[in-house]
A and B are shown apart, each in its own frame.
Chain A
């Protein structure tokens, strides 16, 4: 049996500001089942390379026939962005699994992104709103730890992954083979999410992201501090701070960050959240509070973390208000809408600042200013001088090297597969993993296939009688020097495997038992009476064979286990004895051994 993991695409790491983009789409074949893990979009491309290449599968037929299910780990577009393309444009009608929060939030992000690409940039060959809706109809929600039986053989189970609201790791099992896919995860609780957790499920393969493969936890806290420092400085000198965001995800995290900072520092400068999704987005977080970290969950009745005291709704007229302020505005790439309007107003003042907390698509103003462009051509030949400070910060919560090692310790996989990371960093981690856990570690490139041999044990049903007998004989502790072997018969009938004692097997199969017996006469010179000879045999064997039942029976026989020994003397010579040994085939070894022992005669007295 073998298990093979196809990477339709692993990760691409863009150089520059350390922007982690790429797209996740992994195909796993396990025990005859094909599962697609994530279906991400590459936001760095505008052409066909944006979506994973499904021709690998579709050249041999329809996706629906090939795939048993699709599992989406979380709502980031690099993990779910190609979903409507796959299900509606390429065509897939099977089940798509994701957690409740992912199911709630993912269509909104898809729609947002669709609007940018199609409505603003006028691209065709993209999915439509209706397609997103149709795609979401195929989604089956997953609960944490619930074991979902996709079909009779394939079962999946979701574990908490941290990272973003509703992010999950999945455990996939077919028969006795299993795979864990982590998606993106985070091993330390952060501002609003808990830490990823998995039980000791000992999968054959653990597929882990490795975005921060070489970093040892500093990053996030530091970046947060950095972010707060920059915002604070800007406010102190009376500047205005613009944070272009998408309505969901990072926005809430930054809001919590600023809210607590404002509270702690007792700051008075207003924070605004641009209209539109705001209220609604926060609502998702309130309704899915069970997915946040323990602290937020515990206190939500008294104080809901997502009801912000300092953050108020924005009105376009506020942009011209004097004095410092912080504004969260959509969309996140400064390509249109409110964020762009505000940007234009504030760009000319070097006291102001724009903080880009996420990746920007090529061609957007966000992308241009991040690349250092200081003069922007606006529509109508006007140019805009960019004087404000431009900052980039990434806040995504990923596991660092320590976290990845911690997860391996939790799950105890037999093989490790690293994806979603930079080759050089992955190489370093691979070495560490192989050294510390002595398991094989793979790091396939895009379009590469990894085949991992699994070696499953065979489950059989053993008769309880036989098992109990063996356990009783075996004693409470196994003796490593003297392993006890048990014997039984395995009956294979259709798909059932039953292990029973040989006697029971005969009975169950309706077979007769065939007795095979051997009788051997051994001549022996012994100048004693028959009964004395018999007794001498008894004592001889008794001293020779330890650990066997040897009985001297009153009817003139000696029994060693079930072997019968009798003595008679010939009529002519009373000293010439004939020993009669009789044993069944089951005692063949012992019987043959005894006959050879007795042939040598008895020891002198």
Chain B
């Protein structure tokens, strides 16, 4: 069993597991941090950006985490754990010869689709007249300034996919429910488990009858909107692949939420606007729920909240129809029947308004001071670019970063100098090191595999030994492009004995509680399922006139192994019963030699062997053979 690690990003993993001759890709996250190397894509012409000397601003390009470690067309299935970890799907399913199936839960598919559509929309509505590629040439890259010069493998950076590729990629998705057992080629069973991180997010169990691999990716133990994490089903795994821990191990999500609210209220009261760059699904639901409770107490009842995204409406609508995937509290609401999320009420009371973009209706409804939720959190594309240009110059306004995926300083870099206040309260609900240690203690995997980042403290806080995984035995670290041999051997395989054969077996007890039976059977293997059935009786030989060649082929029925010993006294008694009385017994170093005088035959009896020397008397030999066999166990 091998694990190919195609991504070094611990929260956007992409691993390939080869298990019982199936090739399973675990997630395909898209690392978009490379867009930070590009200038923002403004929605309206920006004199400032276009007057920058030198390099021309360019379409966002994306760092695709894959290398020619293995042929992607050989991948049989892709298991998706949550919608953030499927953004590279079109790159894998299109143009690589991929012919397999993708498995994901329904919310993951629907919200993943929204996020992809949003990304495509962001890119396509600001088409570039020209796009440069020659800078990717190594010689040119050397001459570039700053971090771009040191970026690795820029030639693997690809242009964003289009809507057609998204549709085609997503058409390969097969929907699964939590705890559904999906058979892959009869060899392996995979099953998604609730991971508690986002709507429909899942961990995966990949198992055969005797081996179990748990894939843990983006899990949360906090009570937010999704169904709680299923921990017990992770128990007894041989290998646990651990990815997607929190990116903010020192930031407490609850504290951050509090800070978010208080900063928001403060800015509004001072007459400023609040900009929240965020993804269109996920934490935003929790932010809105928190604000729902906070608005009245903070006297924000008249402040407009705007959610601007091409998929804002869909995201809000979809969140309300996945009751089965929500936590218990929200689930019980639909029985009333009420929408599970309170943002329905915010919309109804006109406190929250959503728009596909800043153009159209929004420009006429727009009132300040206000709160705007919009993407993309990298501040390089999407409507957020416009608000940065609009509000950046005033110290009254505040930008509050809640998404942990991008360094906020890097994100802000192209907008400097900036008068606007910046608040950084990243909310990452994924497991922290303390929780993961507890979890692993609970589920007791034999081996843990994790990104190498988790085996040492973060670079900036090298003294914090609590910010790493310490396990016994130590976890097996991987980095981008590693190939790990997972440490377990398959020893048993499930086969089925057909009833007819099962009835014909004769068990004998060899020890108290242990019985054995010899099995002679025909093995049938079909679709990786093995069955044993009785050996068919040879068809009766048709009567033939050629009597000559009847005895040509000896029968083939291999005999079992023997075990035990032949006791002398009992054996002599048995011989006597069969009319063999003249026996001379001679003691030797290892046992006895019996001389059957009348028959001129020798039997050598020893602890671990019996030797019958019998000339030219086949009936006698077979009789003696059967007598000896009476004392032995057959295996």
Which residues of chain A have a CB within 8 Å of any CB of chain B? Answer: 100, 103-104, 141, 143-148, 157, 176, 280, 283-284, 286-290, 300-301, 455-464, 467, 470-471, 474, 478, 483-494, 498-499, 502-503, 505-506, 509, 511-523, 544-545, 585-590, 592-597, 599
For B554-565 the 0/1 string (1 means CB < 8 A from A) is 111111111111
> Which of B381-389, B497-505, B574-582 interfaces with chain A?
B497-505
> Which residues in A have their C-beta under 8 angstroms from that of B523?
467, 470-471, 474, 484, 486
17 further A-B contacts with Cβ under 8 Å, apart from A300-B321, A492-B507, are A146-B180, A283-B338, A286-B321, A459-B495, A461-B210, A462-B493, A485-B522, A492-B516, A499-B495, A515-B611, A516-B629, A519-B612, A545-B554, A585-B562, A586-B558, A586-B560, A595-B618
Question: Complex: how many Å from CA A493 to CA B497?
Answer: 17
Question: Complex: how many Å from CA A464 to CA B621?
Answer: 38
Once the chains bind, are A100 and B331 in contact (CB under 8 Å)? Answer: yes
Q: List 17 A-B contacts (CB under 8 A).
A: A146-B180, A284-B337, A289-B321, A470-B523, A487-B560, A492-B507, A509-B514, A512-B608, A513-B608, A516-B612, A516-B625, A517-B611, A520-B621, A523-B616, A586-B561, A588-B625, A594-B554
Once the chains bind, are B497 and A457 in contact (CB under 8 Å)? Answer: yes
Q: Please report whether the interface of chain A is mostly helix, strand, loop or mixed according to DSSP.
A: mixed
Once the chains bind, are B558 and A511 in contact (CB under 8 Å)? Answer: no
> Which residues in A have their C-beta under 8 angstroms from that of B613?
518-521
Question: Complex: how many Å from CA A586 to CA B320?
Answer: 71
> Which residues in A have their C-beta under 8 angstroms from that of B334?
100, 104, 284, 287-288
* 10 tightest A-B CB contacts, nearest first: A593-B554, A515-B609, A457-B496, A461-B492, A502-B561, A145-B177, A511-B563, A145-B180, A514-B562, A462-B495
Among residues of B, the one whose C-beta sits closest to the C-beta of A107 is B335
Among residues of A, the one whose C-beta sits closest to the C-beta of B335 is A104
Q: Which of A499, A503, A516, A593 has the most C-beta atoms of chain B within 10 angstroms of its own C-beta? A: A516
Tell me how far the C-beta of B1 lies from the nearest C-beta in chain A, rounded to whole angstroms: 13
Once the chains bind, are A459 and B496 in contact (CB under 8 Å)? Answer: yes
Once the chains bind, are A471 and B525 in contact (CB under 8 Å)? Answer: yes
Once the chains bind, are A287 and B323 in contact (CB under 8 Å)? Answer: yes
Among residues of A, the one whose C-beta sits closest to the C-beta of B340 is A287
Once the chains bind, are B181 and A288 in contact (CB under 8 Å)? Answer: no
Which residues of chain B have a CB within 8 Å of any CB of chain A? Answer: 106, 176-181, 191, 209-210, 313-314, 317-318, 320-324, 331, 334-335, 337-340, 490-499, 502, 505, 507, 510-511, 513-525, 530-532, 535-536, 551-566, 607-616, 618, 621-622, 625, 628-629, 632-633, 635
Question: Complex: how many Å from CA A492 to CA B513?
Answer: 8
Once the chains bind, are A458 and B625 in contact (CB under 8 Å)? Answer: no
Once the chains bind, are A517 and B609 in contact (CB under 8 Å)? Answer: yes
> CB within 8 A of A141: which of B181, B322, B331, B531?
B331
Given A301-B317, A461-B209, A595-B618, is A478 in contact with B492 using a C-beta cutoff of 8 Å?
A: no
Question: Complex: how many Å from CA A493 to CA B517?
Answer: 12
Question: Complex: how many Å from CA A462 to CA B491?
Answer: 8
Once the chains bind, are B519 and A464 in contact (CB under 8 Å)? Answer: no
Given A502-B635, A512-B608, is A492 in contact with B337 using a C-beta cutoff of 8 Å?
A: no
Once the chains bind, are B535 and A458 in contact (CB under 8 Å)? Answer: no
> Which residues in B have their C-beta under 8 angstroms from that of A492?
507, 514-517
Once the chains bind, are A485 and B521 in contact (CB under 8 Å)? Answer: yes
Question: Complex: how many Å from CA A516 to CA B53?
Answer: 94
Given A145-B180, A461-B493, is A489 in contact with B559 using a C-beta cutoff of 8 Å?
A: no
Given A104-B334, A145-B180, A523-B616, is A487 in contact with B516 using a C-beta cutoff of 8 Å?
A: no
Question: Complex: how many Å from CA A141 to CA B511?
Answer: 48
Once the chains bind, are A520 and B608 in contact (CB under 8 Å)? Answer: no
Question: Complex: how many Å from CA A103 to CA B323?
Answer: 12
Once the chains bind, are B609 and A486 in contact (CB under 8 Å)? Answer: no
> Which residues in B have their C-beta under 8 angstroms from that of A513?
561-563, 608
Once the chains bind, are B565 and A514 in contact (CB under 8 Å)? Answer: yes
Once the chains bind, are B492 and A498 in contact (CB under 8 Å)? Answer: yes
Once the chains bind, are A517 and B612 in contact (CB under 8 Å)? Answer: yes
Question: Complex: how many Å from CA A188 to CA B373?
Answer: 43
Among residues of A, the one whose C-beta sits closest to the C-beta of B499 is A455
Given A143-B177, A457-B497, A586-B559, is A486 in contact with B521 using a C-beta cutoff of 8 Å?
A: yes
Tell me how far the C-beta of B341 lies from the nearest C-beta in chain A, rounded to whole angstroms: 11
> Which residues in A have their C-beta under 8 angstroms from that of B210?
461
Tell me how far the C-beta of B375 lies from the nearest C-beta in chain A, rounded to whole angstroms: 18
> Which residues in A have their C-beta under 8 angstroms from that of B521?
485-486
Question: Complex: how many Å from CA A506 to CA B632?
Answer: 13
> Which residues in A have their C-beta under 8 angstroms from that of B551?
597
Once the chains bind, are A143 and B324 in contact (CB under 8 Å)? Answer: yes
Once the chains bind, are B610 and A516 in contact (CB under 8 Å)? Answer: yes
Tell me how far the C-beta of B564 lies from the nearest C-beta in chain A, rounded to whole angstroms: 6
Once the chains bind, are B321 and A516 in contact (CB under 8 Å)? Answer: no
Tell me how far the C-beta of A131 lies from the nearest C-beta in chain B, rounded to whole angstroms: 17
Once the chains bind, are B490 and A464 in contact (CB under 8 Å)? Answer: yes
> Which residues in A have their C-beta under 8 angstroms from that of B180?
145-147, 157
Tell me how far the C-beta of B540 lies from the nearest C-beta in chain A, rounded to whole angstroms: 15
Once the chains bind, are B517 and A518 in contact (CB under 8 Å)? Answer: no
Once the chains bind, are B337 and A287 in contact (CB under 8 Å)? Answer: yes
Given A474-B523, A487-B520, is A506 in contact with B502 using a C-beta cutoff of 8 Å?
A: no
> Which residues in B have their C-beta under 8 angstroms from that of A516?
562, 609-612, 625, 628-629, 632
Once the chains bind, are B519 and A520 in contact (CB under 8 Å)? Answer: no
Tell me how far the C-beta of B609 lies from the nearest C-beta in chain A, rounded to whole angstroms: 4
Once the chains bind, are A300 and B625 in contact (CB under 8 Å)? Answer: no
Once the chains bind, are A141 and B615 in contact (CB under 8 Å)? Answer: no
Tell me how far the C-beta of A249 lies from the nearest C-beta in chain B, rounded to whole angstroms: 14
Question: Complex: how many Å from CA A516 to CA B627?
Answer: 12
Q: Which of A287, A461, A478, A521 has the most C-beta atoms of chain B within 10 angstroms of its own C-beta? A: A287
Given A301-B313, A506-B635, A593-B554, is A599 in contact with B616 using a C-beta cutoff of 8 Å?
A: yes
Once the chains bind, are A483 and B536 in contact (CB under 8 Å)? Answer: yes
Tell me how far the C-beta of B538 lies from the nearest C-beta in chain A, rounded to whole angstroms: 10
Q: Which of A144, A463, A487, A594 has the most C-beta atoms of chain B within 10 angstroms of its own C-beta? A: A487
Once the chains bind, are B609 and A488 in contact (CB under 8 Å)? Answer: no
> Which residues in B have their C-beta under 8 angstroms from that of A463?
491-493
Question: Complex: how many Å from CA A461 to CA B553?
Answer: 35
> CB within 8 A of A511: which of B176, B510, B522?
B510
> CB within 8 A of B516: which of A474, A486, A505?
A505
Among residues of A, the one whose C-beta sits closest to the C-beta of B507 is A492
Once the chains bind, are B517 and A467 in contact (CB under 8 Å)? Answer: no
Among residues of B, the one whose C-beta sits closest to the C-beta of A515 is B609
> Which residues in A have their C-beta under 8 angstroms from that of B531?
457
Question: Complex: how many Å from CA A499 to CA B209?
Answer: 14
Given A463-B492, A518-B625, is A457 in contact with B178 using a C-beta cutoff of 8 Å?
A: no
Question: Complex: how many Å from CA A515 to CA B628?
Answer: 11
